[in-house]
Amino acid sequence: MVKAVVAGAAGGIGQPLSLLLKQNQHVTELALYDVVNSPGVATDLSHISSPAKVTGYLPKDDGLAQALKGADIVVIPAGIPRKPGMTRDDLFKINAGIVKGLIEGIAQHCPKAYILVISNPVNSTVPIAAEVLKAAGVFDPKKLFGVTTLDVVRAETFVAEITGEKNPANLNIPVIGGHSGETIVPLFSQAKPSVSIPSEKLDALVNRVQFGGDEVVKAKDGAGSATLSMAYAGYRFADKVIRAAKGEKGLIEPSFVYLPGVEGGDAVAKATGTEFFSVPIELGPSGAEKAIDVVSSANDHEKKLLQACYEGLKGNISKGVEFAQNPP
């Protein structure tokens, strides 16, 4: 029995992500929450012949509480997306408050749920979530995840285009750090199976992984940012969290977590100088069971990228913490 909740379920990510969760055989209840149209999306999905019972909630009639009650996993793609010319940090003003409000609801109604934050800027919204949960006395760092899977998915795809690998999903490439521009650091030297990237193609490849989001924002030309690839990536991560909760072993995926609360995280925090960071996480019934240190084995080129990552990340993290501790 798994109750999954999508907060922001009527949006560009929320709808396809909800569709994917509806066909997950482990999910027995799927609650869709949004400020608009969630009952309609829920009714539509409820006609699909899979186990999950689907319900839709709006803010009225205590809808957030109803949606969250008894939840095992809450996925949050609520908030505004970028338009051309914007950075993810430009979304902070609106999305910080949205995420704060939703996490307050989680703290009250389902504090033991796995929480998967998709809303940007992830580098700041996850620290906000942590602070809100801490203030409510219910913070379990093993259960709070910033979803950075799209960066991994992109790295797999773009590397396969270069190496000729027919199925990009056969590649396992750690992408670490944060989720914006230079804070995104792909570690091609640690790809499994190993890959050989021609040196003249390396910089462009790194840049494409770091700015893949901008590629989509530009192509959509004002109509938003990545939605379908994000729904795929968000589902891939949520499915792993659910399978790990059910006892499946060997499930590893990078995620942006609060390192001091995860086994192995202290060593990574020491190496990076930041408390929040994305590294490959071994998942289990308690959530993030182990943070895998891929930082210390980065090659010299990757170490240079990591320096730039740390600089950007620290500011994004403290901005989130400051917002949560001293709301405007």
Q: Which residues would be at the binding site for ligand LMR (CB under 6 A)?
A: 81-82, 88, 120, 150, 213, 216-217, 225-226
Task: Report in angstroms how near the CB of residue 119 gets to ligand LMR at its nearest.
Answer: 9
Q: Which does 216 bind (CB under 5 to 8 A by kind): ligand NAD, ligand LMR, none?
A: ligand LMR
Rounded CA separation 185/181 (Å): 9
Q: Torsion over CA of 18, 20, 22 and 23, rounded to 10 degrees?
A: 180
Task: Return the number of the residue (17 or 54) whose C-beta is nearest ligand LMR.
Answer: 17
Task: Return the number of the residue (80 or 267) whose C-beta is nearest ligand NAD.
Answer: 80
Burial call 11-28: b when 16+ CB within 10 Å, e when fewer: bbbbbbbbbbbbebebbe
Look at strands 276-284 and 252-258 and give their pairing. Answer: antiparallel
Is 304 strand, coil or helix? helix
Q: Which two tokens stand for residue 255?
A: 């995620």
Nearest to 26 by CA among 7, 5, 50: 50
Q: Which does 208 bind (CB under 5 to 8 A by kind): ligand LMR, ligand NAD, none?
A: none
Task: Report in angstroms how near the CB of residue 117 gets to ligand NAD at its nearest.
Answer: 8
Dihedral over Cα of 10, 286, 110, 136: its sign? negative
Task: Return the number of the residue (36 or 204) whose C-beta is nearest ligand NAD.
Answer: 36
10 binds ligand NAD (CB under 6 A): yes
Question: One symbol per residue from 146 to 175: x for binding ligand NAD (CB under 6 A), - otherwise; what is it?
Answer: -x--x-------------------------
Contacts of residue 80, Cβ cutoff 8 Å, sequence gap at least 6: 91, 94, 95
Place of tokens 């192509």: 219
Beta bridge partners of 54: 30
Task: Report in angstroms how near the CB of residue 169 gets to ligand LMR at its nearest.
Answer: 19
Q: Which does 217 bind (CB under 5 to 8 A by kind): ligand LMR, ligand NAD, none?
A: ligand LMR
Rounded CA separation 291/278 (Å): 9
Question: Which helix H or strand E contains 295, and what residues bound it?
Answer: none
Q: Which does 11 bind (CB under 5 to 8 A by kind): ligand LMR, ligand NAD, none?
A: ligand NAD
244 binds ligand NAD (CB under 6 A): no
124 binds ligand NAD (CB under 6 A): no
- Positions marked active-site: 179
Binding site for ligand NAD (CB under 6 A): 7-8, 10-14, 33-36, 77-82, 91, 95, 98, 101-102, 118-120, 122, 147, 150, 179, 224-227, 230
